[in-house]
Amino acid sequence: MHSYDYVVVGAGSAGCVVAARLSQDPETRVLLVEAGTPDGPASMAVPPAWPSLIGSSADWGFVTVPQPGTAQVVHPYPRGKVFGGSSSINAMAFLRGHRAGYDAWAAGGATGWGYDDLLPYFKRSERAAGRDPRHRGTDGPMPVAPPRNGHPLAYVYLEAAAEAGHPTSPDLNGEHQEGVAWLETNIVDGRRFSVADGYLRPALTRPNLTVISSALVHRVVVRGGRCTGIEYSVNGDPRSARAEREVILSAGSIGSAQLLMLSGIGPAAHLREHGLGVLADLPGVGANLQDHPLAGITYSATRPVPPTANQHSDLIAMVRTRPGLASPDLQLIFLDIMYHPPTLIGPEHGYTIGFSLMRPHSRGSVRLAGADPAAAPLIDPGFLRDERDVETMVTGLRMAREVGETEALAGWRGKEELPGAAVQDDAELAAYVRSVTGPYFHPVGTCRIGDDPLGVVDTELRVHGIDGLRVVDASVMPSIVAANPNATVIAIAERAAALITA
């Protein structure tokens, strides 16, 4: 059996950062194990093609369990299975959440994870030219920039948003985390730039970093309360690796929870139900799953909407649905394509204004379907389980409609097709919201930081009750950040690497 100082599971957003940072010390031997392949389909590089990656060879191809909150629909639930993980199939938006979200983590017991604590790691990770260096990084591994050539419709949306009363933010990732702004993305010279491109590929020549791809990790190995390594397979061939110092799980909000449970770390009754021995009864493993619910209002266009070279939402807005809220709770997404369920018939030419709840109350779970490591887990994001989320989504629809009905958009607007201008009262709008809401693909929270009975890791991301085992990925977030999560996952991994090497 091969032995390393650190074994990192999963070459996704977090795993690429952790493996790259730990292997900076040439004396430290690091193994990174990934179920996917180094490269995905050619279309992975092409920004507007990202929706086609759902269901591709670079996706695990998971689905949710039927969602009672969204008309019992079984939603696709893509997760990247390739170097870069979900950052290689995502929509490339690079956005920090409002500082209030991180400060709430710290106030809730996640000491060291407030916005000011994370700011040096946000800055360390990014390369944002021409931005205010008090708030932004200028020489990190991840290039981030607003679109070079905005879509023609995006300029009209900008006027429409101003007409509807939304102020412009000069930089949503800087001091002004509210308002309308050009969306910053990880696109370089018209091509996707994943976390593998930023962190892992430049480190691949290091002799102290070993990367094994197409390797499915089955479980972590624990002896006498200490994690000593992992068991995995390549093409069905069983293998194991030893970690002298630590195993770091970076398998994502679905994979890390699944692997802990397969290893006997999780809710005891659920593990026994599947014949698994219990090493640590941690009821929080797989609980607290959160995602941003996403829906849209769709208009027919008076003419064909030209194709984009970007990722379809050059402009976004972070807004408050009620006065008195401490920070924005809704994202408006100004799309240059139509986004609605395939079961609804949209116009021939059109566009959608998306809206997504940034601080949902609904919670779901990840559970095992069985003890087989190759079996897909049961994913229940609990979309719109909490009635308050439906109410805020209805407000979001009204806010999107206000922008959609502006004079500025008159030249593009045919008519409101979905739900249709006749749909006005709260009950009808709520029914529409339930019929069209789907995932924004932002699962977090299933191995959350906390010292309470539902906490899974401590404030240094060490799994409670097991030595030598950490979780570093989106799953440790106590609550969902008010933004697309990738930038935050990278900052979390940067800080984790600093904690590990301190």
Ligand X SMILES: Cc1cc2nc3c(=O)[nH]c(=O)nc-3n(C[C@H](O)[C@H](O)[C@H](O)COP(=O)(O)OP(=O)(O)OC[C@H]3O[C@@H](n4cnc5c(N)ncnc54)[C@H](O)[C@@H]3O)c2cc1C
- Which residues does the annotation place in the binding site for FAD? 82, 217
Tell which positions 210-249 bind ligand X, by CB under 6 A. 216-217
Residue 448 touches ligand X, criterion: CB under 6 A: no
Return d(Cα 300, Cα 37) in angstroms, integer.
40
Least separation in angstroms between CB 164 and ligand X: 24
Least separation in angstroms between CB 455 and ligand X: 18
Site string for ligand X, 375-394 (x = CB under 6 A): --------------------
Tell me the three state secondary structure of residue 367. Answer: strand
Residue 85 touches ligand X, criterion: CB under 6 A: yes
Binding segment for ligand X (CB under 6 A), chosen from 37-45, 79-87, 199-207, 379-387, is: 79-87
Residue 486 touches ligand X, criterion: CB under 6 A: yes
Return d(Cα 471, Cα 75) in angstroms, integer.
27
Alpha helical stretches, state H, 223-366: 252-262, 268-273
Least separation in angstroms between CB 489 and ligand X: 4
Which whole-number Å values give the CA distances from 473 to 15, 426, 470, in the listed order? 8, 38, 10
Least separation in angstroms between CB 41 and ligand X: 14
Tell me the three state secondary structure of residue 77. Answer: coil
Residue 484 touches ligand X, criterion: CB under 6 A: yes
CB 128 within 8 A of CB 136: yes
Q: Which of 47, 78, 147, 293 binds ligand X (CB under 6 A)?
A: 78
Residue 300 touches ligand X, criterion: CB under 6 A: no
Binding segment for ligand X (CB under 6 A), chosen from 173-181, 338-346, 455-463, 481-489, is: 481-489
The question of whether 442 is a catalytic residue gets the answer: yes
Return d(Cα 473, Cα 404) in angstroms, integer.
37
Return d(Cα 449, Cα 466) in angstroms, integer.
15
Residue 96 touches ligand X, criterion: CB under 6 A: no
Tell which positions 247-286 bind ligand X, by CB under 6 A. 250-253, 255, 259
* Rounded-to-10 torsion of CA 128, 200, 308, 481: -70
The annotation places the binding site for substrate at 440
Structural tokens at position 397: 């629809």
Closest CA to 383 of 163, 46, 30, 72: 72
The annotation places the binding site at 82, 217, 440
Q: Which run of H or of E encompasses 179? A: strand 179-182
CB 194 within 8 A of CB 208: no
Structural tokens at position 127: 């390369």
Residue 296 touches ligand X, criterion: CB under 6 A: no
Q: Which of 31, 93, 187, 276 binds ligand X (CB under 6 A)?
A: 93
Give Cβ neighbours of residue 256 (< 8 Å, ≥ 6 apart): 9, 10, 249, 250, 446, 447, 471, 473, 475
Closer by beta carbon to ligand X, 409 or else 493: 493
Closest CA to 437 of 343, 291, 288, 296: 296
Site string for ligand X, 52-71 (x = CB under 6 A): --x-----------------
Least separation in angstroms between CB 147 and ligand X: 13
Tell which positions 3-32 bind ligand X, by CB under 6 A. 9-15
Least separation in angstroms between CB 92 and ligand X: 5
Residue of this chain nearest to ligand X (CB atom): 12
Marked catalytic residue, from 176, 218, 442, 464 = 442
Return d(Cα 440, Cα 68) in angstroms, integer.
17
Beta-strand ranges (E) seen in 120-252 are: 126-127, 142-143, 179-182, 187-188, 191-192, 209-212, 215-223, 226-234, 237-249
Active-site residue list: 442
| Binding site residues, ligand X, CB under 6 A | 9-15, 33-36, 54, 78-81, 85-87, 89-93, 216-217, 250-253, 255, 259, 441-442, 473-474, 484-487, 489
